[in-house]
Amino acid sequence: MDKILEGLVSSSHPLPLKRVIVRRVVESAETPLSQAQCRAMFALSTRLVLQGPDPFQRQVGRQVLEAYGRYHRAEFEAFFNRGLVLGLLQRGYGELSNRDPAILDYIQAGLRLIMSCPSVLELFELLQVEALRLVCERPAPPLCARLCQLLGDFPQCLPRGRKLSLAFCQQLVRSIAHFQSQGSREAELRLYVSQVTQVSGLLRSVWKAEPDTLLPSLQELFAVISAADTSFEPSVALASLVQHIPLQMITVLIRSLTTDPNVKDASMTQALCRMIDWLSWPLAQHVETWVIALLKGLAAVQKFTILIDVTLLKIELVFNRLWFPLVRPGALAVLSHMLLSFQHSPEAFHLVVPHVVSLVHSFKRDGLPSSTAFLMQLTELIHCMMYHYSGFPELYEPILEAVKDMPKPTEEKIKLILSQSAWTSQSSSLPSCLSRLSGKSETGKTGLINLGNTCYMNSVIQALFMATDFRRHVLSLNLNGCNSLMRKLQHLFAFLAHTQREAYAPRIFFEASRPPWFTPRSQQDCSEYLRFLLDRLHEEERTLKVLSSAKTSESIMNEDSQTQEAVHKAQVFAEAPCMGSEERTLIEKMFGGKLKTTICCLNCKSMSQKEEAFTDLSLAFCPPTSLENIGPKCMERSEVKDDYVVQTNTSATSPAGGTPFNNLEVNGGCDTIMNEGTIKDFSTEPNSENTASSELNKVQDNKDMSRGLVGKNTLSVTDLLNYFLAPEILSGDNKYYCEKCASLQNAEKTMQIIEEPEYLILTLLRFSYDPKCHIRRKILDNVSLPLVLELPVRRATSPLAVVSGGWSVGVEISDIGENLAKKLKPSGADEVTCPQLVPYMLSSVVVHSGVSSESGHYYSYARNVTGSGPSGLCHQSTALSLVSPQDKLLTEESPCTVVENELDAEMPREWFLFNDSRVTFTSFQSVQKITSRFPKDTAYVLFYKKQNSTCGFNTNSANGLWVNGDPPLQKDLMDAITKDNKLYLQEQELSARTQALQAASASCSFRPNGFDDNDPPGSCGPTGGGGGGGFSTVGRLVF
């Protein structure tokens, strides 16, 4: 029969005839045959299967072998023995190599036929050894895939015993690392991918059946991809293994990998780069998950050098993967994390910027829903990066044009994304975390290191920095080559905005801005420092402008170098946008206002007037005695206010010798007496809109109003401001010398704000001089801080003139709890103009903690407030005014409280507490309650921002390049910040490595950086406001 079959298949008969005859030969397998005949048929069919020259002969061989082996099982068992199988695996068959997959096809077919025979066990043992030998020889993908298919169908052939199983898995991992595709056509690539999938599927089965083999296999995988051998590049086919690693193991594996001291930086860098290459592998799942987890793990242990190197090496490759839909989701996830976390320098982002526009256009041309969804994600990512690194119009304008019709994320969302993605925000969740990262807190704000009792400066600088419009003007100045104080302030603001440090040390600015009479390392008055600083900046700019004018008028071509530099300084100061009048300095435009003082002689009714500029108003506390001396003694005000003279104190004269700004304050007796007890809160009945016609009526009205002053406990800023602006009778020792009368006369002195500042700075005069003890004591009375304040501004509509007649009660200005004794005035004609109420929003509060000006600690509360308000609200009818309707005065909850509660509810996490190097989120309620909770902590300096202002920057600029609201930084500033950020990351990494060596024995407490509402803000010192770090030990896996 074998001869007939052999002659048939090699004959030239038609194929249909051959198939008919072959069918009959197969059917004859049921007839009894001798052992020799069976052996001959098995040998022929084996030769046809392994050496058949065409598919027909190989198919005939398989059919005959299966038919005769099934009906003559005993004879086939004797034929398909250990010797045959071993020979096939080690020597091949004739000219057929032992590494040909056909050998394994034949063996698998034979095993199926003898599964019920005892001899199959011997073959299983043989194959267990031979399978391990085969994978150690690094079989090609076709052979390895065929072997894995055989082992998958016959798991009895898998190596047994822990040692052999581990060896098999590890060697199979290395075999995959040697896989290479033999073609580039789609069909060839599909076959290659299916072969790799077959091999990785077997490993998954082994790991599932024997979990102990998983970790050693992953160790082998890491050893392969971390090897520094440049002559061998592991195959990206290793990516097929990642999808089979349980995601639950991410935490423990990444922890072990990133904290293992035996893993060198070069090895980790190599491994991470190769894992990123795996993004090219189609159908592999979770590759991006593991890559991102490893990136975060390295950030958590502060190995920033690796992250920087890998990002710069691979960011373009990852971006290019976005062109391929099959791997696009994973590539976009990794790209987003790499870009958003690389926040110390624009270098990585700028590597991919040139490729963005073409990719965006490609997505748009596709028009597919998936492409549109990816385009929206990519657009959000690009907006975040342009927000973080503004100032490159030549790079960003084409991108903005390409994505102009795509949704743009809000600034709040961008800030949240950036704050959550930074390397310094990746804290380890392990109990054995080396230390708490000292990067920026979740607020995204930067603290200022206390250089030794410099909290007075830190609190003021943070308040100025949070004055958004002022900060933007400072950052927009072109001050290259200038060594002015404004340049140093710009440098400090730039670092506060862009550094990755938790806290910045302002040493250079401190030395340049410290008043000469301030003793270093001694506590000072922050209000005095603020006045000196603003005056220095003002005088410096004005001096430079004078030099610039002199240079222009003289037209001298050869000036000395110092004059040239001064001219340049003056020019760059004048370039600041939105500066209004060219004669005004930046300080004048941001903080400068004007106050008109009018003195009217009560004898001849003549008036003298004087206008003064101010940068802050110092508000005295209302003396308690002022409530006891009202009524018929209105003309004997000297008994009450002889010691409460309105004075104009000027700040220190600047080195330039120019006229300093005025700080206007009402002493109100605070320099001679100490307030004892709590001053009552003043609420009052509203005055009639019609002017009273007689002095008696006004006195009686004031008596009635005084009865309503009892029962309140807290003064408000409005009370102090009313007290400051209220008319004053100059009598007794304070009589006014009238030039017209040529003698001392009783007079009425009034002050009116005629030009309001962009930022209204109010200083509460809390430090009073005690003549008995000859020391300055602190007034600890609580003062309510309105969130919304309306300032009465009386803009003149006619030239100044002497007006005859008396003055009436200014009903538009009165009335929440003002000092009624000051409001008693002679009757007469109305004022020519009516005050306009200008709304202001509370921006910052500098708090003093302590009992004297020579000791204690300063910290500040602040939030971002722009000209249109933090939430775009319009505060009109509901805003707090110095004029309040009668029906609201008698309610338990004031209009101010309602507005503040509503605003605070709508703006969560908008307030920040700046306590030297510590910055935390807080709330407006905490600002209001600080003194009631901590009696020694009192509001001292307040910053209010004028609303509906037209002098602020337009953050939605035409070119769209000021995407973060702040102007782009000058190149030298950006370079300095980038350099310092890299240095900071290196410092953090070095510190983390040092701590890692001590982690086993070190232990200390840790205080989280969170809300600061339950603890007093702290004390002053070189480390004020800092947090702690913690160590503990835990067992870990070792790679």
Which residues lie closer than 8 Å to 1002 by C-beta, 6 or more apart? 995, 1031
Measured in whole angstroms, the distance separating CA 137 from the mean position of its chain's CA atoms is: 52
- The C-alpha atoms of residue 771 and residue 671 are separated, in whole angstroms, by 9
Query: From CA 202, how far away is CA 398, in angstroms rounded?
Result: 50
Q: Are 514 and 1005 in contact (CB under 8 A)?
A: no
819: CB partners within 8 A, 6+ apart: 622, 623, 626, 627, 682, 722, 723, 726
Residue whose entry in the numeric block shows the structure tokens 């007075």? 456
Q: Tell me whether residue 455 is one of the annotated catalytic residues.
A: yes
Residue of 433, 455, 670, 1020 marked catalytic: 455
Rounded (to 5) percent helix, strand, coil in the chain: 50, 10, 40
Scanning the structure block, which residue is given the tokens 């927009």?
476
Alpha-carbon distance 784 to 679, whole Å? 12
Give burial (CB, 10 Å; 0-12/13-18/19+) of 889: middle
What lies within 8 Å, CB to CB, of 992 at 6+ separation is 301, 302, 303, 434, 435
State both tokens at 233. Answer: 């590049």
Residue 512 CA to residue 276 CA, distance in Å, equals 49
**For residue 807, which of 595, 596, 607 has the smallest C-alpha distance?**
607
Region of 367 (left: φ > 0; alpha: ψ -120 to 50; beta: rest) is left
- Please give the torsion angle defined by the CA atoms of residues 377, 379, 382 and 384, in that order, rounded to the nearest 10 degrees: -70
Kindly list the distances between the CA atom of residue 710 and the CA atoms of 210, 630, 679, 706, 818, in Å, as whole numbers in the listed order: 83, 15, 10, 8, 13
Calpha distance 358→1020 (Å, rounded): 55
Residue 1010's nearest CA partner among 940, 945, 915 is 915
Other Cβ atoms less than 10 A from the Cβ of 714: the count is: 17
Pair 883, 835: CB distance under 8 Å: no
The answer to whether 128 and 159 have CB atoms below 8 angstroms apart is: yes
Q: How many CA atoms lie within 13 A of 653 on its CB side?
A: 5
Side chain identity at 807, as an amino acid letter? W
Question: Whose structure tokens read 């995959």?
Answer: 176
Total residue length of the chain: 1039
Alpha-carbon span 923 to 903, nearest angstrom: 11
**What's the first-to-final CA gap in the chain, in angstroms?**
63
- Amino acid identity of residue 646, one-letter, is V
Residues 6+ apart with CB under 8 A from 941: 460, 463, 526, 527, 530, 616, 761, 762, 763, 764, 845, 846
Nearest to 60 by CA among 104, 18, 105: 18
User: Which residue in the list 344, 491, 848, 857 is annotated as catalytic?
Assistant: 857
Going by C-alpha positions, the residue among 527, 524, 525, 495 that lies closest to residue 509 is 495
Place of tokens 């905005």: 497
Residue 551, by phi and psi: left (phi above 0), alpha (psi -120 to 50) or beta? alpha
| Strand duo 743-745 + 767-770: pairing | unpaired
The label of the residue with tokens 């520094």 reads: 228
Using left for φ > 0, alpha for ψ between -120 and 50, and beta otherwise, residue 404 falls in alpha
- Residue found by looking up tokens 């009631």 in the block: 932
747-755 and 607-619 beta bridge pairing: unpaired
Q: Active-site residues: which are they?
A: 455, 857
